[in-house]
Amino acid sequence: MEQRDKGPLSGVRVIDLGTMVAGPVAATLLSDFGAEVIKVEQPGRGDTLRHIGPYADGESLWWNVEGRNKKSITLDLHHPEAQRILKELVKHADVVVENFRPGTLEKWNLSWQELEKINPRLVMLSVSGYGQTGPYASRAGYDRMGLAMGGVLNITGYPDRAPVRPGTAMADYQTALFGAFGTMVALYNRDARGGKGQQVDLSLFEAVFRFTDVMVTAYEKLGLKRERTGNVHFAAAPGDHFQTIDGRYIVLTVSSDRMFARLCEIIPEFIGDERFQTHAKRLANVEAANRMVAAWMKSLPVPEVCRVLDAKGLAYSLIYSVEDIVADPQYDAREAIVTVEHPRLGALKMPAVQPRFSQTPAPKVHAAPDLGAHTEEVLQELAGVSVEKLAELRKAGIV
């Protein structure tokens, strides 16, 4: 079996049955730290993400970011022979990741109950839109549905307009984070506490819901209904996205009296005004407070605004475009963007592995594999498939 750079998860073997983002990215996060991830894809087509742009020379760039560090094999799991082979692979696995609609694996004789019998130490991460149980379990669920039901879409945007989706697949990526975290908790319980393998049941909507902080608690105890408020937040007054004289936007939020006192040194008009003496009063008059900050911000270019805010130690940020990101010295100093060498596309820049550890750094990032590039290697070494049998399987379209 091909050996790659060792990382802190070296020795953990993951079988990635997922498609698109939420499940597969959970596996990618594990592979970033050295886990061996064997991605199982449909023969001839592969993961759906391979067919979503933007493209470079006909290849999906999104796939090349999220398929990194993995091995690819092809198996058509509709076929009993492919199911048998997968069960052989499961005998040698620590983790299986899947994000099919609940009930799909049962139809293929690959349910958690079946796989647990084969490998009692197995951890199975099952990602779905609405979870493995409950009245909505069989519904199809994607990123935006998770954002909708999880409560985030309703509070995102302006009160006089329809809810607005975030600019990236936030529900998918939040779920991937919880998925990787849940998998590691299950592995720790198995290996450090003498436990068994187990299934991790994770839904898009619950992953999103966990990010809604105090929303439900405030509703239950105080009857507060959080609504769309644009860029205004109850913990920041003043706080908004303010435009500078050169047309850029800067985020500035002030949450404490101490920080507000520093802002008063920049905008002395705040001093002595009863409307702004406490945070509660500033929140009640946040529109007036924001207008005063906006007037000051609009009078200056970005470099001068940054200089003044830095001098006072206030928290702010220029709202970055992708051009800002790739040119920024902080990104460069932190090596937050990694360059991966692709055999056909050349150098590909993408987000680096996160987080970073002082003693166990992540291994080198490897390019995403071609479809089925490791089928022969994996099936021969882990499933005992002979060269002759592999040829038969290819002819039949099973691999």
Q: Give 264-309 pLDDT, tens digit per residue.
A: 999 999 999 999 999 999 999 999 999 999 999 999 999 999 999 9
**Residue pair 241/231 in contact by the 8 Å Cβ criterion:** yes
Name residues whose C-beta falls within 8 Å of residue 390's C-beta, 6 or more positions apart in sequence: 375, 376, 379, 380, 399
213 included as an active-site residue = no
| pLDDT score, position 395 | 95
| pLDDT score, position 6 | 86
| pLDDT score, position 4 | 64
**Residue pair 52/381 in contact by the 8 Å Cβ criterion:** no
Give the separation between CA 157 and CA 160, rounded to whole angstroms.
9
Give the separation between CA 302 and CA 283, rounded to whole angstroms.
26
Q: What is the pLDDT of residues 122-132, one digit of tens each?
A: 999 999 999 99
Q: What is the residue-averaged pLDDT of the chain?
A: 96
| pLDDT score, position 219 | 98
Give the separation between CA 172 and CA 290, rounded to whole angstroms.
34
Q: Residue 152 is encoded by which pair of tokens?
A: 């985030």
Low-confidence ranges of the chain (pLDDT < 70): 1-4
Q: Exposed (0-12), middle (13-18) or buried (19+): which is 53, by Cβ within 10 Å?
A: exposed
Give the separation between CA 103 and CA 110, rounded to whole angstroms.
10
Query: Which member of 172, 201, 246, 332 is catalytic?
Result: 172
Could you identify the residue written with the tokens 């990787």?
A: 180
Rounded (5°) CA angle 289-293-295: 115
pTM: 0.94
Domains belonging to the chain, first-starting first, are: 13-211+334-396 (3.40.50.10540), 239-243+249-318 (no CATH)
Phi then psi for residue 111, to 5 deg, are -65, 165
Give the separation between CA 155 and CA 157, rounded to whole angstroms.
7
